[in-house]
């Protein structure tokens, strides 16, 4: 029999349009049975029926746990219980719907196993997981012991995997839920405060847009100078047009490995980075891109830093690139890969993987650039 996992999803920052959409999804929840199921939210009666959503295979792929029911739901939170784990897949699916109305929706989930064998919390911006904290049973014991003067590691029997006396067991059980709840609340509050601190709509921010040079090199080597110029001209036109939709006052630069070269318009580009007539001249102009990093690095000064799940995502249709810059809720520099209108990497480290990275100089070095180029002072 599965262990129950209790969870609370909180919509910490959500606009009115997203609230209206959320309420319309709540209208799909059936309340006449023994339980009200999480999967009801996604049933539209056309693409997905209640019968299809109730199948284990659909629930497992789209919700996560084999079952998950809701006990309370309103515009501020969802309270429920699931089997073995929290419904993080279902939450991401829900946020993918809600972020269409509110790209900057801030959502948290706290969860705890009934023993508790584990507890944790996650924070999302849009549908992106941006931070998480997860404690297994040994982490929980350590946290409780650190808070209680009359409980120690010597009171725990590792071989028997229990407390040595019933008094110590009672002491642990009397305090574990309050202590772990405080850990969850403190974690979520601190990360939300960091989002509010780092989130801005008006201040100028520097972002680096990184494109691979493969197609340009192929044009240069096999299709001739004119085609190579056309490739870069089209790349610049598309980039400046789409960045102008993000911020009509955007300022765009090409980074040559040492300094930013400001490009006002296509005529400016023709005189500054498209003024080559031979392969050798092109290789000289783009020495940094072709020999050091194998990437074209464009720098953009843009108003605000909350474009990752909206404007930048829209820009990636029919192309691929990576963006480096400041991200609400994260300190330092973050990276996001985009591919053909979707995310190609994660923004931050997920609970189960360390592949997605960010906030370190090694990642910047991988792109062949230094941290200072993402500072406004670099452009003075």
CA dihedral 24, 28, 33, 37 (to 10 degrees): -90
151 and 288 housed in the same domain: no
56 close to 87: Cβ distance less than 8 angstroms: no
In this prediction, residues 203-228 reach a mean pLDDT of 88
pLDDT band, very low/low/confident/very high, at 352 (cuts 50, 70, 90): very low
Q: Is 28 exposed, middle or buried (0-12, 13-18, 19+ CB in 10 A)?
A: middle
pLDDT value of residue 201: 63
Q: Given a cut of 70, is residue 173 above it in pLDDT?
A: yes
In this prediction, residues 41-65 reach a mean pLDDT of 94
pLDDT value of residue 350: 33
Structure tokens at 145: 């012991």
End position of a domain, from candidates 198, 220, 241:
198
Specify the number of domains making up the chain. Answer: 2
Q: Which residue has the higher pLDDT, 208 or 318?
A: 208
170 and 209 housed in the same domain: no
144 and 232 housed in the same domain: no
Q: Given a cut of 80, is residue 292 above it in pLDDT?
A: no
Q: Given a cut of 80, is residue 226 above it in pLDDT?
A: yes
190 and 100 housed in the same domain: yes
pLDDT band, very low/low/confident/very high, at 325 (cuts 50, 70, 90): confident
Q: Given a cut of 60, is residue 1 above it in pLDDT?
A: yes
258 and 145 housed in the same domain: no
Q: Given a cut of 80, is residue 354 above it in pLDDT?
A: no
Lowest mean pLDDT among 114-123, 155-164, 332-341: 332-341
Q: Which residue has the higher pLDDT, 301 or 344?
A: 301
Between CA 199 and CA 195 the distance in angstroms is 6
238 and 143 housed in the same domain: no
Chain position carrying tokens 């996001």 = 336
264 and 166 housed in the same domain: no
End position of a domain, from candidates 164, 198, 232:
198
pLDDT band, very low/low/confident/very high, at 358 (cuts 50, 70, 90): very low
pLDDT value of residue 202: 67
End position of a domain, from candidates 198, 221, 240:
198
pLDDT value of residue 286: 87
> Is the alpha carbon torsion for 238, 241, 243, 245 positive or negative?
negative
Q: What percent of the chain has pLDDT over 70?
A: 92
In this prediction, residues 339-352 reach a mean pLDDT of 59
pLDDT value of residue 349: 34
DSSP designation for 351: T
User: Which of 114-123, 238-247, 298-307 ranks highest by mean pLDDT?
Assistant: 114-123
Tens digits of residue pLDDT in 256-289: 888 899 998 888 888 998 999 998 888 888 888 8
In this prediction, residues 188-196 reach a mean pLDDT of 81
Strand 295-303 vs strand 251-255: parallel, antiparallel, or unpaired? antiparallel
pLDDT value of residue 284: 86
Structure tokens at 360: 């370190």
158 and 241 housed in the same domain: no
Q: Which residue has the higher pLDDT, 351 or 23?
A: 23
Q: Given a cut of 80, is residue 327 above it in pLDDT?
A: no
Q: Which residue has the higher pLDDT, 32 or 172?
A: 172
Structure tokens at 200: 């801005």
57 and 97 housed in the same domain: yes
> Is the alpha carbon torsion for 151, 153, 155, 158 positive or negative?
positive
pTM confidence score:
0.65
Q: Given a cut of 80, is residue 291 above it in pLDDT?
A: no
193 and 244 housed in the same domain: no
Structure tokens at 124: 């999302």
Q: Given a cut of 60, is residue 353 above it in pLDDT?
A: no
Between CA 373 and CA 375 the distance in angstroms is 5
pLDDT band, very low/low/confident/very high, at 311 (cuts 50, 70, 90): confident
Structure tokens at 213: 């040079």
355 and 212 housed in the same domain: yes
Q: Given a cut of 60, is residue 351 above it in pLDDT?
A: no
Strand 68-73 vs strand 320-325: parallel, antiparallel, or unpaired? unpaired
88-116: b (≥16 Cβ within 10 Å) or e: bbbbbbbbeebbebbbbbbbbbbbbbeeb
149 and 175 housed in the same domain: yes
Question: Rounded to whole angstroms, what are the CA distances from 135 to 19, 109, 113, 241, 243?
Answer: 32, 14, 11, 46, 41
Q: Given a cut of 60, is residue 245 above it in pLDDT?
A: yes
Structural domain span for residue 216: 204-379
Structure tokens at 134: 């997860």
Return the CATH number at 143. Answer: 3.30.70.1270
Residue 150: other Cβ atoms inside 10 A: 9
Tens digits of residue pLDDT in 15-35: 999 999 999 999 999 998 889
In the predicted model, what is the mean pLDDT of the chain?
87
pLDDT value of residue 330: 65
Three-class SS of 145-188: HHHCCCCCHHHEECCCCEECCHHHHHHHHHHHHHHHHHHHHHHH
Three-state secondary-structure class, residue 129: strand
């Amino acid at each position: 029999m599965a262990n129950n996992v209790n969870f609370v999803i909180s919509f910490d920052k959500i606009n009115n349009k997203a609230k209206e959409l959320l309420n319309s999804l709540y209208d799909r929840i059936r309340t006449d049975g023994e339980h009200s199921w999480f999967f009801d939210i996604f049933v539209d009666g056309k693409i997905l029926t209640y019968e299809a959503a109730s199948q284990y295979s659909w629930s497992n792929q789209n919700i996560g746990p084999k079952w998950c029911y809701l006990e309370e739901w309103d515009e501020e939170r969802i309270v429920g219980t699931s089997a073995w784990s929290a419904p993080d897949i279902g939450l991401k699916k829900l946020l993918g719907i809600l972020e269409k109305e509110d790209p900057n929706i801030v959502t948290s989930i706290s969860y705890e196993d009934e023993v508790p064998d584990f507890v944790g919390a996650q924070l999302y911006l849009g549908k992106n997981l941006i931070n998480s904290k997860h404690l297994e049973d040994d982490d929980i014991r350590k946290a409780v012991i650190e808070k209680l003067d009359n409980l120690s590691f010597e009171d725990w029997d590792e071989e028997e995997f229990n407390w040595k006396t019933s008094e110590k067991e009672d002491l642990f059980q009397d305090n574990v839920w309050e202590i772990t709840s405080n850990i969850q609340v403190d974690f979520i509050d601190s990360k939300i405060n960091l989002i509010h601190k780092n989130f801005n709509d008006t201040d100028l921010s520097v972002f680096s847009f990184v494109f691979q040079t493969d197609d340009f090199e192929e044009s240069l080597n096999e299709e001739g100078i004119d085609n190579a110029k056309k490739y870069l001209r089209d790349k610049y036109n598309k980039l400046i047009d789409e960045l102008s939709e993000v911020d009509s006052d955007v300022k765009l630069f090409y980074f040559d490995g040492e300094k930013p070269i400001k490009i006002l318009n296509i005529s400016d580009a023709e005189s500054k980075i498209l003024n080559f007539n031979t392969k050798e001249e092109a290789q000289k102009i783009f020495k940094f891109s072709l020999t050091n990093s194998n990437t074209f690095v464009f720098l953009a000064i843009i108003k605000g830093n909350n474009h990752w799940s909206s404007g930048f995502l829209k820009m990636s249709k029919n192309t691929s690139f990576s963006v480096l810059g400041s991200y609400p809720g994260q300190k330092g520099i973050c990276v996001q890969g985009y591919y053909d209108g979707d995310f190609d990497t994660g923004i931050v480290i997920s609970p189960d993987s360390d592949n997605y990275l960010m906030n370190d100089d090694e990642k910047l070095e991988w792109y062949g650039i230094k941290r200072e180029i993402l500072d406004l002072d670099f452009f003075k």
